[in-house]
Each structure stands twice: as C-alpha cells, then as structure tokens.
Amino acid sequence: MDYEIVIVGAGPSGIFTAMTLAELGIKGIILIEQGKDLDHRTRSDPEDMLCGWGGAGAYSDGKLTLSTEVGGILKEFIEERPLYQLLEETDKIYAAHGAPDRIFGEPSHQLEEFAIRARLAGLELIPTRIRHIGTENCRAVLSGFRQALKERVDIRTGLKVQGLLAEDGRIMGVNLADGQIIHSRFVVVAPGRSGAAWMKHQAESLRLKTTASPVDIGVRVELPAVVFNGITDMSYESKLIHYSRTFDEKVRTFCMNPYGEVVAEENAGIITVNGHSYATKKSDNTNFAILVSSAFTEPFDDPIAYGHYIARLANLLGGGIIVQRLGDLLAGRRSTRERISRCLTRPTYTNATPGDLSFVFPYRHLVSIIEMLEALEKLAPGVYSRNTLLYGVEVKFYSNRIEISPEMETKIKNLFTIGDGAGVSRGLLQASASGILAARAIARRIEDGGV
C-alpha cells in the first residue's frame, strides 16, 4: 500500500478531510490537487479561479453561513442539532486560522421585526448567522491551512487524478494523468463543481447511482447600498424566499454582497455573472442574485443542459454578460451605452453589454424575477427603481448527487465523496463539514483496526 488515504482535490472539503485526519493522528495521507499551489494562483488566469489550493474558495466572498438550511444537503443525513454543532465547530476552525471575529445576524428584536415585515411583503426570511471572511482575506486563511498541514500530509499540486481504481466493490487507489498509480486503503474524492463532469464519469464507470440536481437561473441585481443597508448592516445578507404570483414558482435572493462588486465568471467556455465583496474595501452598491428554481416537466431530465443553453444565449446576444436597467426592461426597450451612462446606479462591472434580457429569459423566469422585485420593493423601498441594474445571466449549476451514506461513503467500500462535486454541498461551510464527516469515519475504521 503506497498510502493509507488518498484525497482528491484541495478545495475546502478536501482540506478539512486532511486537517481532521491529521488532528486525529492518522498518518499516510496524500492530498492531490490538479491546479496550482496557492502562491502561484492568479485571479487573472481563468483556470486558477476555481482550481488550485483552496479550490473555488480561494476567490470566493468567504461568507461562512451558519445554517442547516442553506449551502448543502447535510440535513438529509444528520439531525438538526448535531448538524448545527458540526457547522459551528467547522466555523471555529476557520476563525482559528484567521477568519474575522464578527458574526452577523445574531438573533435580535430588530431581526424579528424584519422577518415580520418580510412576511407581510410575501417573503420568507431564512435567518442565518454569517461570518464574513472577505475576498481579500480568503488567501490568508487558506495559507494558514496549508501551513498547518505541510509537515503532516503529502501535498501534491499540479497533478490530476485520472481515474478511481476499484476491485470487487472495494476501492484500491487512483491512477494519475501522468500514468502513475497510487494504491491506498481509502480514497476521498472532493472534486468540486469544476470536477463535477469528471466525477459523473467516474460514478458511471463504477456504477454508482446518481440523481440530477436542479439548476437555478436568474439575474444579479445591483442597486445603491443604502436601499438594503437597514438589513445588511445587521445581518450582512438576507436570504428571502418568494413564491411568484403568476407561476407559483420558488424565487430566492442569493449571495448578497453589501458594498460589493459584480464580477464575471467563466466556466467551460460560458460567461456568467456573480458578485463578491471585500471585508474592508467598499463600493457604493449592494448586489445580490435573484434565482428562479424551476421544476421541469417530464420527461425532461437534464437541468444542467438547460442552464447552459440559457447562459449561452446571453453570451450569443451580448458577447458575454448583458446589463439592463429595470426601467428599460419594464418599458420593453433595450438598454444602450448612453442609457447606462445616465443610470443613477453606477455599475461596478463595466464590461457588460447593455442589452435586453427579455431576449434571453423564458417568459416564466422573467415574470417571476419581476414579481420578486415587486415584493422586495415593499420591504426595501428603492429596489423597484428604474435605475436598478440587472445583469444576466446568473446560473447556479449543482453537481449530480451521488448516493452516499451519512458517513459520506459510496457503495464502493472505503470510497468517500464529499463537497460540491458530490452534490452534498453548495457552500464553504457544508463542504468543509462534509470533509470532517468523512475523515472521522475513516479514523474510526483505522482505530478499530477494520478495513
């Protein structure tokens, strides 16, 4: 046996697996990452954005959402209370490695009042406690993890795992893209969203059962920070859910970035919009996504292809991201450079093409987005302004879900799969927590002397 445990992927889930195993005194761990080491990653290289030490977490906004309801599906495996405790434990590890002390959204009378006002506006507020690392601090925290592991785990970057080796229903190791084979007793696969297609292929060849996850499609909204600061100063982000009047479709706010910036993201040749914020550097605007979750009509069962199709359409029409003033959308006309230059909300992302989002979104999505904005206006006057900017499209793809046990083990013995790539998580905290679960299960087996 070359190693006791191979971990594939050095995103938050893989890193937390390694850190937990090392803390428990387990030896013989190799962590393999296809991307670059942290110091060699640059924001300007699209390949570095999602891959390398820290995975997608390296350039994320670093919001650690202490909620069992968002950021993953761990609540399907663990009871509410122990799960919350696990998330708190995970969060403390981030704090111990340099994440800022402040937690937003602590229960308060003010927050309760806000939840009631939201309800009156037809919106459900999901209360969440959030620790905000901030994009500029993520690197330091990830570097802290790297330091903590460097003597205890064999870390290899720039090395891609090609395939998973299994025999008689048991994992035997992995083979690498450069032809090497590594034998091991346990394999933990943590490939993230960027490795989801590879993971799907591995699952197929190992005959692991998978189910398609939904796709969420929508826009990124940008408006003056003052419109939302009553809530964002108190709870950083407000997660609000609305069921649209016309289609009774679930629409939600997502990834709110107070005083933040809108950014472009490229994945598999498709450009989509996203947002982030710094812990210290502040813009005048707040941005957040409005996402529509559609339940498709049978027999259609390929939500990822649908999401790609809509994103490609926006890229085809706008050469990338399209921006439109809400006033123009409602008046049935495109935004032009001249109209955007007169817009009272100054765009933080200036490379978007002024255009018409009604050429991109299906009717039901557009109507649901507009109805959500109307509902938000009742809660935060100013949202439904002509000068609110809408960037399209924002698409959230989730990986296919692989059938796993509450210990994160697949049907192949000693093969564990965790994080976003396994469809278990959609955020830093649940991804990291899933790594802890897999590590603890492995450590128990090793201590028991079992296989």
- In the block, which residue shows the tokens 């599906």? 73
Minimal distance, residue 443 CB to ligand FAD, in Å: 19
Nearest to ligand FAD of 262, 340 (CB atom):
262
Pairing of strands 250-257, 415-417: unpaired
Nearest to ligand FAD of 326, 436 (CB atom):
436
> For the chain, give me the number of helices (H) and strands (E)?
12, 22
Pairing of strands 63-66, 401-402: unpaired
Nearest-10 Cα torsion for 72, 70, 31, 264: 110
Nearest to ligand FAD of 185, 220 (CB atom):
220
Minimal distance, residue 299 CB to ligand FAD, in Å: 31
Nearest to ligand FAD of 53, 361 (CB atom):
53
Q: What is the phi-psi region of residue 21: left when phi exceeds 0, alpha when psi lies from -120 to 50, beta otherwise? A: alpha
Minimal distance, residue 158 CB to ligand FAD, in Å: 9
CA distance 220 to 263: 10
With beta carbons less than 8 A apart as the criterion, state whether 211 and 198 touch. no
Pairing of strands 181-189, 415-417: parallel
| Amino acid at residue number 166 | A
Nearest to ligand FAD of 34, 244 (CB atom):
34
Nearest to ligand FAD of 267, 358 (CB atom):
267
161 closest CA partner among 189, 192, 197, 200:
189
Minimal distance, residue 379 CB to ligand FAD, in Å: 22
Nearest to ligand FAD of 63, 325 (CB atom):
63
- In the block, which residue shows the tokens 């190791």? 173
359 closest CA partner among 420, 426, 310, 405:
310
Structure tokens at 6: 């191979």
- In the block, which residue shows the tokens 């696990």? 86
Nearest to ligand FAD of 355, 427 (CB atom):
427
Beta bridge partners of 240: 125
CA distance 346 to 294: 31
Give exposure, 146-178, as e/b (b: 16+ Cβ within 10 Å).
bebbeebbebebebebebbbbeeeebbbbebee
Interface residues with ligand FAD (CB under 6 A) are 8-14, 32-35, 50-52, 55-57, 59-63, 65, 71, 160-161, 190-195, 198, 265, 274, 276, 419-421, 425-429, 431
Minimal distance, residue 414 CB to ligand FAD, in Å: 18
Minimal distance, residue 223 CB to ligand FAD, in Å: 19
CA distance 139 to 133: 10
For residue 321, give the 3-state DSSP assignment.
coil
Nearest to ligand FAD of 429, 436 (CB atom):
429
Nearest to ligand FAD of 193, 200 (CB atom):
193
Minimal distance, residue 192 CB to ligand FAD, in Å: 2
Minimal distance, residue 198 CB to ligand FAD, in Å: 5
Minimal distance, residue 288 CB to ligand FAD, in Å: 12
Minimal distance, residue 247 CB to ligand FAD, in Å: 28
CA distance 4 to 182: 10
